[in-house]
Structure 1
Amino acid sequence: MIKIVAVLCSLASPSNCHEQLVTSSDFAQVSVQSCLMGAPQLADWMNQHPAERLAAWRCVIGQQNGRGI
């Protein structure tokens, strides 16, 4: 399973940034290659967050089981 973690910064306060797990049915079957290239779905997802700017993203492979793995 591949998850995308986005770093979003407020347009009103650019130094106010946070990480958010990108969740959408469009990302259910994201490939590693697509994730590393920015997942075209990411642009559509950002349209739903007009008050924020995408500063970065990373791909997380595998499921976390509570032990940080």
Structure 2
Amino acid sequence: MNFVELILTVCTLAQPAACDERKLVFESTTGSTSNCMMQAMPYIAQWCGEHPQLTVTKWRCARPGAEGDKI
């Protein structure tokens, strides 16, 4: 199995300057980050529907653990 990490930068609707990152891991057929870029939109749309109080301002793909965690 190949996994890819989708990293979302999200901000609250009440305080647009209050932003944070959320990481979603999903299975990818190839495990490539470029393939993730093409497959990401349905995952982002689903996440947005489940979190209506937040808005996604940007997103990127990475291999799981490659970007580490915020300190």
Deviation at 1:57, TM superposition (A): 0.6
| Identity percentage of aligned residues | 31
Q: Which structure: greater strand fraction?
A: 2
Separation in 2, partners of 1:28, 1:9:
26
Alignment CA distance shift 1:9-1:36 (3 Å): same
Counterpart position of 2:61: 59
Matches of 1:38 and 1:12, distance apart in 2? 29
Runs of 4 or more, structure 1, over 4 Å off, are: none
Tell me the TM-score normalised to structure 2 length: 0.68
Whole-angstrom distance in 1 between the partners of 2:37 and 2:11: 20
Read off the aligned partner of 1:45 and give its amino acid letter: W
Describe how 1:37-56 pairs up with structure 2 within 5 A. Answer: 37=38, 39=40, 40-56=42-58
Root-mean-square deviation (Å) = 2.4
Secondary structure of 2:14's aligned partner: coil
Deviation at 1:58, TM superposition (A): 0.8
Gaps of 5+ in 1: none
Measure the CA separation in 2 of the matches of 1:38 and 1:10.
Answer: 25
Instruction: Give me the whole-angstrom Cα distance separating, in 2, the residues matched to 1:42 and 1:12.
Output: 20
Consecutive unaligned residues of structure 2, counting only runs of 5 or more, are none
**TM-score (structure 1 length as normaliser):** 0.70
